[in-house]
A and B are shown apart, each in its own frame.
Chain A
Amino acid sequence: MISASLLTEFQNLLGKDNVLVSESDRHAYSYDAAVLDAVVPELVLRPTNSEQLGKTVALCNENKLPMTVRGAGTNLSGGTIPTKEHGVVILTNGLNKILEINEQDLYAVVQPGVVTAKFAAEVARRGLFYPPDPGSQAVSTLGGNVSENAGGLRGLKYGVTKDYVMGVNFWNAEGEYVKSGGKTVKCVTGLNIAQLMVGSEGTLGVFDEIILKLVPPPVASKAMLAEFDDINKASETVAAIIANKIVPCTLELLDNATINYVEDFTKAGLPCDAAAILLIEVDGGHIALVEDDAEKVVEICKKHGARRVQMAKDAAEKNKLWEARRNALPALARARPTTVLEDATVPRSQIPAMIKAINDIAAKYKLQIGTFGHAGDGNLHPTILTDKRDKEEFHRVEQAVDEIFDVALSLGGTLSGEHGIGTAKSKWLEKETSKATIIYSRRLKKAVDPNYLLNPGKIIGG
């Protein structure tokens, strides 16, 4: 329970409007984008500057209040759902300043609450490029991205958030300011704490300033759609493109079920009888090279059994192709009331096996599952269409999810390509890693957060 005097202290620190106490206000922070049970925080705190953030953390620590930091709350693994002991939610969307965009040295310094797409647009206005583009970028925050190590459609060629984090300054559990990394391209001073913070899901510190690397943008790109009668051939094509030393910026796969849902929804003229389609985009610094790559990709597709490859002639056609991909989730989401979007990742060569397994699991548990994803990096999103109110069916969903992750691990894959572990997947962590890994991680956590207050229960449980 939060005492009246502590409440007053928070109100004096943050201003009354930034301390949410009413039941209706707090309930609006009891969930995130994961389909998990809600837990209501006892208080929601919204600092609007760095000093307030530090003091908030210190006050919570002094009073032994568990803290769950929340950016936009779009994570799919329960990372921002307060733990059972309740505690407080610290909202970062008031810390939303881009502090510096350095065009000479190609880096930017941002506060954690900056919305990803706004940042990318600001950077683009200056002729630079910030590649990580999670599907949620219109609302997700950079703090949330770093904390989840978010990736996007461009991951194959440009990497994910971790590849752009040069430094993270954060408040530790006690509310002291820790600096890690810096503004130089090369920086090997001290422990590599900055990278440890990437993907830490709010369990090791509360980010304050983040230093991000920027790159020059590509000047040309070409996009195409390849149709396959056999999903194995589509996956072989993926491997073959890479083996031919072409790294597309985007290489997406939609399975037959997803194609049909998208076509139902958009009437874009997709080939509903195809077993799979690949959406491929190559980009680069010179139009001639890009065109050359694009032609090679067409050849490779055809050689590996594509029955048709359609190259976008102009920006409008390219946009039409991407519409299909952008509408994968919306189309699936409309089919049934509840949408469980999973994140299983396997080595590229195992994609056909993984997709076959998913389809078998769908049949076994009598579920509708559409699969799409970033084939180029082996990151698949099997999406289960269900109704969480149907207890019996939802139980089957849970069993299916268990099995999907079992298969992913047995194929040499991982639990998460980009959505993090949170509470949703923490029970599998040991299976993928080892007992020793969990123990090591818990020791680390204990050392930096002795009171176990920073997003307790997430990733490593406990």
Chain B
Amino acid sequence: MHEDLHQLAKMLHELDDQMVACMKCGMCQAVCPVFSETMKEGDVARGKIALLENLSHEMIADAEGVQDKLNKCLLCGSCAANCPSGVKVLDIFFKARVIVNTYMGLSATKKAIFQGLLTKPALFNSVLDVASKFQGVFTKTANEVIGSSCSRINAPVIGERHFMPLAKKPLRKLEPALNTRPGKGGYRVAFFPGCVIDKIYPQVGQAVLKVLRHHELGIYMPAGQACCGIPALASGDKESFDKLVKCNLEIFEKENFDYLLTACATCTATIHELWPMMSGDKTESMQERIAALAAKTMDVNQFMVDVLKVAAPVQGHGTKVTYHDPCHLKKSMKVFEQPRALLKSNPKVEFVEMSEADRCCGCGGSFNLQHYGLSKDIGKIKRDNIVASGAQVVATGCPACMMQISDMLSQHGDKIAVKHVMEIYAETL
């Protein structure tokens, strides 16, 4: 065991330069949604960094304990965004997860999902296509306004969740591959829908395409796109992550375009930030290719407002809409004014700000699976803030947030619709 620890410590030591910047001031306690529930130091960035330092200096033998603490994190980036010392907390956490989880070994389930399924997009798609046909047998509608379902039978993976059913037809079947020339809009953009939009919210993808067509942009939406890789990376499976990056890179390099647009905050942040960050072990030319695609990647709201300059504010009347800031958009990409500007440009929308709009919804990908209780407690605060705003619709820019918020609202029987900003914007066209 000691030999083992030594090996792990050596690998973690690589992170020392980044970790040493943490001055242990504790200011991350103010913004960490997990800490605000558990109030335990091991759950906040400072504590996790201290544990990793201890592990890397072999001051602590409890590698499994550190792994547990490391996984009990939404990767929301609130700590990093608020850190006076500018510690790159997410870089540390992602890299540490890869090191520790690779070292300790992936669970059999995760191996089966990431290595057996996710990295094989064609197989992944067909498995889910079959699942979508049969899901009605096991589930029933929970909330008509939201469109959520819950389980008919006692299924442990689903538990008490109110989840969004798989779409009858995924986006890739509704809108087969596109490769068009630009019109008056001038630009040619690639569109990366990502898994959740493709399989659960194809209407969001359709809304984006409607908008892109309306503005006469050339569109490149190739078939065979793979997942952006975040689920694998967050679980420390760098191998699967690398495969997914490579697969996507090769597909998108086939054509020229000005921007790679996404409507999923998580995908945007992953491609824009995590792909280059995790490419250190690649050849120089591969690193350059990744950096080039990452640099072109942009959230669609940001593109509409900053590049196309479409959002003229109007005095809206009608549906009260509030907005939830997805962590990956606000904290990682600093995009928060643009989606609001788009909402305010809809004359049928009266925009209302909820309190703590940028507080994480509590989803956090696999965090939601591993720590559903905590995820729900954090989500409850979001739900309460949404309800208190008096809005009839809550809009956001991340389909993962949409799923989590739907679950929270649906479980409370709230009749508040959950929409993507692009759906609301598309309604004006």
Contact = CB atoms under 8 A, between A and B. Distances in A.
Interface of A: 20, 22-25, 27-33, 35, 38, 46, 72-74, 91, 93-94, 115, 117, 136, 138-139, 329-330, 333-334, 337-339, 387-389
B65 A33 contact: no
A27 B60 contact: yes
A338 B26 contact: no
A389 B20 contact: yes
B69 interface: yes
B90 interface: no
Nearest to B66: A24
12 contacts: A22-B65, A23-B61, A24-B69, A28-B50, A29-B41, A38-B59, A73-B26, A333-B21, A333-B84, A333-B85, A334-B85, A338-B23
Interface in B8-31: 16-17, 20-21, 23-27, 29-30
Contact of A27 (B16, B40, B54, B68): B54
B183 interface: no
B304 interface: no
A72 B41 CA distance: 9
Given A33-B24, A330-B84, 19 more contacts: A22-B65, A23-B61, A23-B62, A24-B42, A25-B65, A27-B42, A27-B60, A28-B41, A30-B50, A31-B50, A33-B25, A38-B50, A46-B39, A74-B27, A136-B25, A138-B27, A138-B30, A139-B30, A387-B20
Contact of B84 (A25, A117, A329): A329
A27 B23 contact: no
Nearest to B29: A139
Nearest to A328: B84
B86 interface: yes
Interface in B49-71: 50-51, 54, 59-62, 65-66, 68-69
Contacts, number: 91
B121 interface: no
A458 B84 CA distance: 28
Contacts of B51: 24, 27-28
Contact of B20 (A23, A117, A337): A337
B44 to A, nearest CB: 9
B65 A20 contact: no
A24 B24 contact: no
Contact of B24 (A20, A31, A46, A334): A31
Q: How large is the interface on B (under 10, 10 to 19, 20 to 34, 35 or more residues)?
A: 20 to 34
A22 B65 CA distance: 8
Contacts of A73: 26, 41
Interface of B: 16-17, 20-21, 23-27, 29-30, 39-42, 47, 50-51, 54, 59-62, 65-66, 68-69, 84-86
Contacts of A337: 17, 20-21
Nearest to B25: A33
A175 B62 CA distance: 34
Nearest 3 A/B pairs, CB to CB = A24-B65, A28-B47, A23-B62
B50 A27 contact: yes
A136 to B, nearest CB: 7
Contacts of A38: 50, 54, 59
B57 to A, nearest CB: 10
Contacts of A117: 30
A191 to B, nearest CB: 34
A380 B291 CA distance: 45
Nearest to B69: A24
Contacts of A388: 20
Contacts of A29: 41
A94 B37 CA distance: 11
Contacts of B41: 28-29, 73
A1 B87 CA distance: 37
Contact of A93 (B21, B25, B39): B39
Contacts of B50: 27-28, 30-31, 38
B47 A72 contact: no
Nearest to A140: B26
Contact of A28 (B42, B68, B86): B42
A93 B68 CA distance: 22
A91 B29 CA distance: 14
Contact of B26 (A33, A330, A387): A33
Most buried by B among A24, A25, A329, A338: A24
Contacts of A115: 30
Contacts of A23: 60-62, 65
B23 A24 contact: no
B41 to A, nearest CB: 4
A182 B282 CA distance: 67
A37 to B, nearest CB: 11
Contacts of B26: 32-33, 72-74, 136, 139
